[in-house]
Every structure is written in structure tokens, then in C-alpha cells.
């Protein structure tokens, strides 16, 4: 496909170019995947007001997220194993985001390390943190992110234990992949992916390398997660994390108004309305369904962002209209990365920017900062 026009085009390309176990990792949810599907489908239930005879010139999508200027209110989400969608994937995605003027968020469970990404970027990126029982290691991660001049820390609150993701279990997911007949066949069917991966040494979890010994496959990762990820994580922990970090702090994984109010009490700079892409608690509400309730619950006490299900610029606009000050894309940029490498990430961002710009204009707005619930014709939430 010479010129992908939609995120779904990039998804089809990625499916043809990425081995099945890694494509499925990006394109799956927990249990029955009902929340994963609802994240996407619930956007379609929101209807927009078409406006005519308005000045549509001199439009701007520029705004800020936690005080940082952005060309549009879209950040790249922290996604684990990004470097298995394409060799050196986190480094490529970070460079594409920097050039586009949007934030890139590196996952703790990335293939490329904090230092790897810092070596190829010239502007600050964001780092996502999982809290583990080994507080010394957590503080070391925070210090490494500070040394890399990361400008925001994204604290994930909704993965104290790992949700059960059936596709990953059936695929015997690992990084690097096991050399079983099944996996060898999958990789043999993707020679370009194999060639690219042969050119890099980054094939395992480099942020936790040396700390989490022998963690490569899903079984060992699950065991290490059960041992290390702190199931007693509480709101009190935010205080010492915030003090150690000393800069912008975003809490990710808020899906309940009461939790949103408690997050605001911590003094964090922003929250992300998120259900972990439908990969943790299945049968939970979609992120977009909970967004307006959480916005109403916290008012202007804390900046509200959201992720989950965004597949177009229209989805971004709907989230902004319902009160989000920023949005995040995970799968769309992963599809682009898997399909085309760094140009694919740029293409995903270009697709979303064009759709966002045109839809905003047809709703009668020139400045994204002026968008509010007035552009919503009908909302089921």
C-alpha cells in the first residue's frame, strides 16, 4: 500500500510485516477483549455538530500538555516491547515524535533503554514508571530518567498485577522470541523484520537488564512481575515518588471518579483516564465513556488526559470536546512502526493531524483550544 490513508491501513500493513506473536501483543486485550473493543466502538456513538458559514481560515491545533507546548494534543503512549514491532522501535518512535512536536513516553518494559532513547533525541521525552517492591531499583529508574533529562514522569497505577492476555499466552510471547518451530516459521514469513532485528543488539528488556535476571518470556516476566510489582501500591507512595522525581508527574490508569479525586489530592500535575488499552480489567468501561464523568468530578483541580481506542483525529477531537487536555495513542503508532519503521510513526501522526484539523473546521472551530462540549450533537455518556 503506497499511501496509507487511515490507521487501519497501517494496521493491515503491520500485520503482514510483523511476526504474529508480536503483532498480537499490540493488537489484543485481556480475557474476552470486550473492553478493548469498547474503547474503539464507543467513540462511534458520539455525534458531532456540523456548522457552516463560519470562517475556517488560520486554524491551529497547537496547545500544551502539562505546560509543554505540543503541535497537537497527542502523545505517544508508553508501550512495552515496542522494539519488537521493529528493530530499535522506541528510538525510532521517539525521533519521529520529536520531529512532529509531540511527546514520546518510554515504557519501563521497553526494549530500548532510557539511555538508548536519550542518545538519539535532542529534546526531553517522558518516562513511564512501574512501582516495584525493590524501592532502590525504582529510585534508580527515576534517577536515570532525570539524568536523561526526561520532562515528565508517568506513574502507571493500574498494573499492580498482570492481567491475563490469552493471545500472549497462546503465542508463548517472549523477547527475544523462542526458537521453536512455530516461532521460527513465523519469523521466516517476515524476512524484512528478521533482517532488521539482526542489525541490532536490542532484543530484550534493557531498562531492567541486570536487575531482572533471566526475564525474557511471558512466564518468566509474569513470575518476575508477581514477585516485583507492588500489589500494595497506595496513594501514599505518590508522595515519595513525587519528591524523588521533582518535576511534572502524571498518574496513568484512572477510570473511576473517586480515584480521580484522590489522584488530584496527591498534587500530581495530570491524570490519564485509561484502562490500559483493555489489557487489564476486562468488562471495565471504555476510557471515553468515563472521561466526562471524571472531568466533572475533578473540575480544574488537575489536568485530565485520556488514552484507549483512539484511531483517528475525530476521536481526538471528541475526547477534547468532552474535557481532555491531551490524548495518547499506542496501537496507532505501533501499527505505523511495524508497517514502515520511523516513517510509519510519522505517517500515523500525519493521518491523525489531518483528520483532527478537517473535523475541527467542519465543526466550526479554528482553534483547538476553543473546542468544548458545544460541538457534541449527541453523547451516550
Answer whether residue 170 shows pLDDT above 90: no
| Average pLDDT value for residue range 240-268 | 98
Q: What is the pLDDT of residue 169?
A: 82
Q: What is the pLDDT of residue 205?
A: 86
DSSP letters spanning 269-295: SEEEE--GGGTSSTTPPPHHHHHHHHH
Phi-psi region of 82 (alpha: psi -120 to 50; beta: other; left: phi over 0): alpha
Confidence of residue 229 (pLDDT cuts 50, 70, 90): confident
Cis before 176 (ω within 30): yes
Q: What is the pLDDT of residue 217?
A: 56
Q: Report which of residues 153 and 3 the model is more confident about.
A: 153
pLDDT above 70 covers a percentage of the chain that reads: 95
Known catalytic membership, residue 276: yes
Q: Under a CB-based contact definition with an 8 Å cutoff, are residues 358 and 107 in contact? A: no
What kind of fold does domain 7-378 have according to CATH? TIM Barrel (3.20.20)
Q: Report which of residues 162 and 210 the model is more confident about.
A: 162
Of 4-8, 135-139, 145-149, 221-225, the one with minimum mean pLDDT is 221-225
pLDDT in tens, 194-206: 999 999 999 888 9
How far is C-alpha 297 from the geometric centre of its chain's CA atoms?
24
pLDDT in tens, 315-328: 999 999 999 999 99
DSSP letters spanning 287-342: HHHHHHHHHHHHTTSSEEEEESS--SHHHHHHHHHTT-SEEEESHHHHHHHHHHSH
Q: By C-alpha distance, which of 239, 287, 51, 253 is closest to 160?
A: 253
| Average pLDDT value for residue range 337-357 | 98
Confidence of residue 231 (pLDDT cuts 50, 70, 90): confident
Pick the catalytic residue from 183, 276, 285, 305. Answer: 276
Q: Residue 9: in which H helix or E strand, if any?
A: helix 7-17
Three cell numbers, residue 162 = 498482570
Answer whether residue 153 shows pLDDT above 60: yes
Confidence of residue 219 (pLDDT cuts 50, 70, 90): low
Q: Report which of residues 235 and 173 the model is more confident about.
A: 235
pLDDT in tens, 101-126: 999 999 999 999 999 999 999 999 99
Give the whole-angstrom CA distance, residue 46 versus residue 36: 17
Amino acid at each position: 500500500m503506497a499511501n496509507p490513508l487511515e490507521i487501519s491501513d497501517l494496521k493491515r500493513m503491520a500485520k503482514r510485516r510483523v511476526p504474529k506473536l508480536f503483532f498480537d501483543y499490540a493488537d489484543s486485550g485481556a480475557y474476552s477483549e470486550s473492553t478493548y473493543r469498547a474503547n474503539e466502538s464507543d467513540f462511534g456513538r458520539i455525534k458531532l455538530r456540523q456548522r457552516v458559514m463560519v470562517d475556517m481560515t488560520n486554524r491551529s491545533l497547537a496547545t500544551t500538555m502539562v505546560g509543554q507546548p505540543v503541535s497537537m494534543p497527542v502523545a505517544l503512549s508508553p508501550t512495552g516491547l515496542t522494539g519488537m514491532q521493529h528493530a530499535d522501535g522506541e528510538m525510532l518512535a521517539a525521533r519521529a515524535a520529536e520531529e512532529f512536536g509531540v511527546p514520546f513516553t518510554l515504557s519501563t518494559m521497553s526494549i530500548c533503554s532510557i539511555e538508548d532513547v536519550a542518545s538519539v533525541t535532542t529534546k526531553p521525552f517522558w518516562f513511564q514508571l512501574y512501582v516495584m517492591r525493590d524501592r532502590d531499583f525504582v529510585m534508580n529508574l527515576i534517577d536515570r530518567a532525570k539524568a536523561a533529562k526526561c520532562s515528565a514522569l508517568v506513574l502507571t497505577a493500574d498494573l499492580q498485577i498482570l492481567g491475563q492476555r490469552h493471545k500472549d499466552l497462546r503465542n508463548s510471547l517472549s523477547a527475544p522470541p523462542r526458537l521453536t518451530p512455530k516461532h521460527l516459521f513465523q519469523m521466516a514469513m517476515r524476512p524484512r523484520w528478521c533482517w532488521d532485528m539482526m542489525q541490532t543488539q536490542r532484543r530484550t528488556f534493557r531498562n531492567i537488564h541486570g536487575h531482572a535476571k533471566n526475564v525474557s518470556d511471558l512466564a518468566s516476566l509474569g513470575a518476575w512481575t508477581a514477585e516485583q510489582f507492588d500489589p500494595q501500591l497506595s496513594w501514599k507512595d505518590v508522595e515519595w515518588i513525587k519528591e524523588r522525581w521533582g518535576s511534572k508527574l502524571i498518574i496513568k490508569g484512572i477510570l473511576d471518579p473517586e480515584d480521580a479525586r484522590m489522584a488530584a489530592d496527591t498534587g500530581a500535575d495530570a491524570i490519564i483516564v485509561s484502562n490500559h488499552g483493555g489489557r487489564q480489567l476486562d468488562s471495565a468501561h471504555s476510557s471515553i465513556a468515563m472521561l466526562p464523568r471524571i472531568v466533572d468530578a475533578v473540575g480544574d483541580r488537575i489536568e485530565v488526559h485520556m488514552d484507549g481506542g483512539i484511531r483517528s483525529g475525530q476521536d481526538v477531537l471528541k475526547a477534547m470536546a468532552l474535557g481532555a487536555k491531551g490524548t495518547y495513542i499506542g496501537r496507532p503508532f505501533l501499527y505505523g512502526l511495524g508497517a514502515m519503521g520511523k516513517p510509519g510513526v510519522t505517517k500515523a501522526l500525519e493521518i491523525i493531524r489531518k483528520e483532527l484539523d478537517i473535523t475541527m473546521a467542519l465543526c466550526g472551530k479554528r482553534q483547538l483550544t476553543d473546542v468544548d462540549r458545544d460541538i457534541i450533537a449527541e453523547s451516550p455518556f
